[in-house]
Amino acid sequence: MICDVCGKAEATVHLTEIINGKVTELHLCEECAREKGTQMEQHFGISDLLAGLADLNSDVEIKQDIDLKCSSCGMSYKDFKKMGRFGCSQCYESFKQYIPSLLKRVHGSAKYVGEMPKTGEYQVVKDELQELRNKLRSAIGKEEYEEAAKIRDQIRKIEEKRAKDEKK
């Protein structure tokens, strides 16, 4: 598909704009998408979104955030709302009482409930297998052969599932 703006390059970015209820699809090349992104940032940046969402908190927060500052970098909560990002890692600690409500408004939850990255999932399974192998050695050492057989079967089941998943 060719870019709708320049009409020359291959479109790699596909946008759907809804303006006054009218849906418009744009197919853009990388360069035109970058330019379009800059134009959109000038009109409406992510910091505006975060600031607007943060303003939805109670009147108590609005009054308190005037004086609230990070003890490390000196960034005020008001500056955070304006910029949409923290000044340093200590800001998370300084503003921690307001972060959960902001995350809840932006993502629908203050707790991550999405998928675990494949690498993290692999590590969890690897750790679980190591723990089961240690239990197996211990059971064999104590001559608890029935328990050892159950643990062995658990290990096989996990390894078979892992092998199946790797083939996908």
pLDDT tops 60 at residue 154? yes
Asked whether the beta carbons of 90 and 96 are under 8 A apart, the reply is no
Q: Taking all residues of the chain, what is their mean pLDDT, rounded to a whole number?
A: 76
pLDDT tops 80 at residue 82? no
Q: What is the pLDDT of residues 96-118, one digit of tens each?
A: 888 887 777 766 677 766 665 55
pLDDT bin (cut points 50, 70, 90) of residue 50 is: low
**Helix 99-107, helix 46-54: angle, nearest 10:** 120
Q: Can you give the residue ranges of every domain in the chain?
A: 13-44, 48-107, 118-167
- pTM for the model stands at 0.34
Phi, psi at 72, each rounded to 5°: -95, -55
Most confident segment among 35-39, 59-63, 70-74: 70-74
3 state SS for the chain: CECCCCCCCECCEEEEEEECCEEEEEEECHHHHHHHHHHHHHHCCHHHHHHHHHCCCCHHHHHHCCCCECCCCCCEHHHHHHHCCCCCCHHHHHCCCCHHHHHHHHHCCCCCCCCCCHHHHHHHHHHHHHHHHHHHHHHHHCCCHHHHHHHHHHHHHHHHHHHHHHHC
pLDDT bin (cut points 50, 70, 90) of residue 65 is: very low
Residue 134 has a pLDDT of: 95
Residue 56 has a pLDDT of: 47
Residue 64 has a pLDDT of: 45
Question: For residue 23, what are its two tokens?
Answer: 């849906």
